[in-house]
Amino acid sequence: MSAAILARLLFMPTATEVGIFAAFEHDVNLGTDDLVQLLDVAQSAEGLRRRGFFYLNGVERMYLPGELQPHGLPLNLSLFSANRFGLDLRSGDFRCGAVKLPVLLADDRSQTAIEVDAHLTHDGYYLATVPVGAGRFAVGVQFGALATGSRSTRPPSTRSPASAPNRRASAGRRSRRRLSMSIWKRRPRASSAAYPAR
């Protein structure tokens, strides 16, 4: 019985338990004074919106089920199942409800129109990644074809405080990064007459 109670606390905490653990910090030790929060609910919301469930792979915080608790039981059950049964879950396994988003890519010599998949996120937004190479293309995302409003976000900086003095190396990493992910609420389609075909 005690093992079941501990497993529930570790993988399916209640909001009250998350509130208690939110005040805790992990002492990294290893000769440093670094402290890492056990969980950060605000950062988890941002991570889920930008990268989906797999934002978990890149965080240093330790109590990830506590971060996922405000977002509903399905995410915690997915994490529990993946750990318990060794499931090989991939990013594509969580992508559903894709719509095609028209995008214009242009450089100083030419331009082209492409379509990228925008996938539904856990909280009702859409997420799309636009490949721009090493920043050589200007991008025109045609949000008006699908939505009444938009909000674009940028991926967090990959530069850590330890790499700050090495500006040349960090600039190279930034130039190879893919462009930001765009998130928006989908416009309801009242009738086909209101949105003529192009």
pLDDT digits (tens, 9 = 90+) for 90-133: 878 878 878 899 999 998 889 999 999 988 887 777 888 888 87
Output the average pLDDT for the chain: 76
Identify the top-confidence range among 77-81, 161-165, 181-185, 193-197: 77-81
Which residue in 138, 133, 132, 145 sits closest to 102, CA to CA? Answer: 145
How wide is the angle at C-alpha 166 spanned by C-alphas 162 and 167, nearest 5°?
120
pLDDT in tens, 40-84: 999 998 888 888 888 888 888 989 999 999 999 988 998 888 888
